[in-house]
Amino acid sequence: MKIAIYGKGGIGKSTISCNLAIALARRGQKVLQIGCDPKHDSTFTLTGFLIPTIIDTLQSKDYHYEDIWPEDVIYVGYNKVSCVEAGGPPAGAGCGGYVVGETVKLLKELNAFFEYDIILFDVLGDVVCGGFAAPLNYSDFCLIITDNGFDALFAANRITASVREKSKTHPLRLAGLVANRTYKRDLIDKYVEACPMPVLDILPLIEDIRISRVQGKTLFELAESFSNLNYICDFYLNIVDQLLSVPEGVIPSELTDQQLFKLLSDFYLTNQCCDQSQIKNNVLFIE
């Protein structure tokens, strides 16, 4: 099964991907995680260091695929999870889709692409141009990470549109949303009421998760020394169990930007979250 994990920058995609990868390994799956974010730190908590990217390796070998060995680009991390970083196109030039295409091409040449039970693509979703949507071409499911705020839901809605578009030509479905770093889910609930899709879990803001990133370890690795962290691992195991049961998922219909903005305004108006003086003629003015 191939799963593409998308969401706004900094929302927690890589943290969730790495911990899901370990949770999958704990469930007996052979896992490959492919970082498809130019930030190339997707697999950091699995390996404990920034591994060389596919693009850097290809460049250093003058794009001679035959000179590249699996161990040049596939690094084995904690709990035997295999890790690849696609890398990014040169700043201000090139295309993220090209990078993902080259990564998949190389993994196929190395006979590595079909060797795994699960491949996780960790992809940024601020801009879902055709390039960054490329991992959807190879995926069975898309999983979107969001919080309870407008920016992340706006990105989620864009990703939803990409899934709807790609599902016309690929056997792709949206597994649903995972909320991260939030206790509240009221705006998320409003969104999924308007644009139906499952919510797989809600992870609160937990200081130990932030610390795990700094320490370069997944929560599962830390929990081996600190059993009080096991409750956090259970969030990830719960998500993985839902994915392994092959969820039905949805082919979504995204909202228009106007609908999404109206949803937000209505939400703030009905919840009176703001100063009433900011509301004129039933329109929210944010200065």
Establish if 14 lies at the interface with Mg ion (CB under 5 A): yes
Contact set for ligand ADP, span 171-190 (CB under 6 A): 180-181
21, 132 contact by CB (below 8 A): no
Contacting ligand ADP within 117-136 (CB under 6 A)? none
39 is catalytic: yes
Residue 217 bears catalytic tag:
no
What is the chain's length?
287
**What are the CA-CA distances from residue 61 to residues 64, 83, 229 (Å)?**
6, 20, 43
Nearest CA to 191 among 146, 236, 227, 231? 146
84 within 8 A of 35, measured Cβ to Cβ? yes
159 is in an annotated binding site: no
Answer yes or no whether residue 13 interacts with ligand ADP by CB under 6 A: yes
Strands (E), 64-117: 75-76, 82-85
Element (H, E) at 124: strand 118-124
CA–CA distance, 276 with 284 (Å, rounded to integer): 9
11 is in an annotated binding site: yes
Decide if residue 12 touches ligand ADP (CB under 6 A). yes
Residue 181 binds which of ligand ADP, Mg ion, none (CB < 5-8 A, kind-dependent)? ligand ADP
Nearer of residues 127 and 205 to ligand ADP, judged by Cβ: 205
- Active site positions, annotated: 8, 13, 39, 126
Annotated binding site for ATP: 10-15, 39, 180-181
Annotated binding site for [4Fe-4S] cluster: 95, 129
**Which residues of this chain interact with ligand ADP, rule CB under 6 A?**
7, 9-15, 180-181, 203, 205-206, 209-210, 213
